[in-house]
Chain A
Amino acid sequence: MNRQEIEAKVKEFLIDDLEIDEEKIQPEARLKEDIGIDSLDFVDIVVIVEKKFGFKIKTEEMAKVKTFSQFCDYIETKIA
């Protein structure tokens, strides 16, 4: 899966499952402050990422992820 496909998949579940407005999802948008993801959404993210990308998110790794772009970087690294 290439970078563009990862971004498209992440965008898709943020819009469809978490009901995030598409225009909020920008590369440098911060997950919490700009996109509006809260702790409850993280429950969904953990499960969806596992289903769609086949790995389990780790707390300590996710703590470093602040923006949409970093989140896609993180997934890219894990599935590489």
Chain B
Amino acid sequence: MADTLQHNDWSGKTDGQPWMQRSLIAMFRVLPLWLLYGLMALVVPFYMIFNKKGYRAMYSFFRERMGYGGCKSFWSVYANHFRFGQVVLDRFGVYAGKKYHFVSEEQHVFDEKETHEKGFVMLSSHVGNYEMAGYSLKPKSKRYNALVFAGETETVMENRQRILSQNNVRMVPVKDDLSHLFLLNTALDDGEIISMPADRIFGSQKSVDCQFFGQMAKFPLGAFAMVTQKEVDAIAVFVMKKGLRTYHIHLRELQYDRSLSRREQMSQLAQSFATELENMVRRYPTQWFNYYDFWKR
């Protein structure tokens, strides 16, 4: 526990210049979704060729973790890049006013937590399209504070803000002055909902080792430290693409024994999250979007 984590291969930013992103939003207003997906399918092979690091990481994931053969792994890498393109396009689709359909069999988990006086934490990861949770899981009474990467382009941030603010969602950008931590702490004290990524670093390099796909992998300690320090409940949220305009929201309540030492609580909670994440990735293998060696020691 509390080892350091070095996953600095990731910029955390949506690809493309602001003008390109604005053009994409404009295109969405006139072109059908299937046509944009079709155009993207032609671009994916080039992306695979030029993004060698991502290709290698993903190929290795399908070969070593999923146990696929060489040919299936290659096609799965293509499918994975295509899926990733789709979820990015869908975000811009939302910015352009396109409507998506969300299905969840576990909505009651969110609704039930919302009735409690205490706040709770929603843990996200880089699978599926978590951003869509902010557009679909609409809290009735509590404010929802989403920790976001501060380096996104203005186009992305403005559009997110415009839509999320209608759903009682406040974006909390990660800042060097650590103001985001103070804001999240206060939000939980006020009984609000906070959402944080639990599979990649966002400041501290401290990590916790978890069994993940048969091998130990490092998960950032931040979200688990926040949950256990504030003694609140945690839910893992996965928003997975199912069809052209359909997303399935999976909510998993995470358990940890509050009578244990803080160190053991963090470890137990992190393992509980890692197990749920592995189950979800096994179910939707082409929606695993961590394009680096996740198991690097």
Q: Which of A44, A56, A57, A59 contacts B229 (CB 8 A)?
A: A44
Whether A39 and B230, one on each chain, are in contact in the complex, defined by CB atoms closer than 8 angstroms, is no
- Provide the residues of chain A in CB contact with B290, threshold 8 Å: none
- Provide the residues of chain B in CB contact with A58, threshold 8 Å: 182
Q: A43-B229, A47-B230, A59-B182 are in contact. Are A38 and B203 (CB under 8 A)?
A: yes
From residue 104 to 157 of chain B, which have CB atoms closer than 8 A to chain A?
none
The DSSP consensus for interface residues of chain B is helix
Give the interface size bracket for B toward A: 10 to 19
Per the CB 8 Å criterion, the residue count for chain A at the interface is: 17
A80 within 8 A of partner (CB): no
Whether B181 and A42, one on each chain, are in contact in the complex, defined by CB atoms closer than 8 angstroms, is yes
Q: A43-B185, A43-B229, A56-B186 are in contact. Are A38 and B204 (CB under 8 A)?
A: yes
User: What is the distance, in angstroms, from B141's C-beta to the closest C-beta of chain A?
Assistant: 23
The DSSP consensus for interface residues of chain A is helix
The residue among B2, B182, B221 with the most chain A CB atoms within 10 A of its own CB is B182
Q: Which of B178, B185, B229, B262 contacts A39 (CB 8 A)?
A: B178
A1 within 8 A of partner (CB): no
- Provide the residues of chain A in CB contact with B197, threshold 8 Å: none
Q: Which residue on chain A has the smallest CB distance to residue B229?
A: A47
Whether B225 and A43, one on each chain, are in contact in the complex, defined by CB atoms closer than 8 angstroms, is yes
Encode B178-207 as 1/0 by CB contact (under 8 A) with A.
110110011000000000000000011110
User: What is the distance, in angstroms, from A45's C-beta to the closest C-beta of chain B?
Assistant: 10
For the complex, what is the distance from the CA of A38 to the CA of B205, rounded to whole Å?
8
B226 within 8 A of partner (CB): yes
- Provide the residues of chain A in CB contact with B221, threshold 8 Å: 40
- Provide the residues of chain A in CB contact with B229, threshold 8 Å: 43-44, 47
The residues of B with any CB-CB pair to A shorter than 8 Å are: 2, 177-179, 181-182, 185-186, 203-206, 221-222, 225-226, 229-230, 262
The residues of A with any CB-CB pair to B shorter than 8 Å are: 17, 19, 38-44, 46-47, 56-59, 62-63
Q: Given contact pairs A43-B181, A43-B185, enumerate 19 new A-B contacts (beta carbons under 8 Å).
A: A19-B2, A38-B205, A39-B178, A39-B203, A39-B204, A39-B222, A40-B204, A40-B206, A40-B222, A40-B225, A41-B204, A42-B178, A43-B222, A44-B229, A46-B182, A47-B229, A59-B178, A59-B182, A62-B182
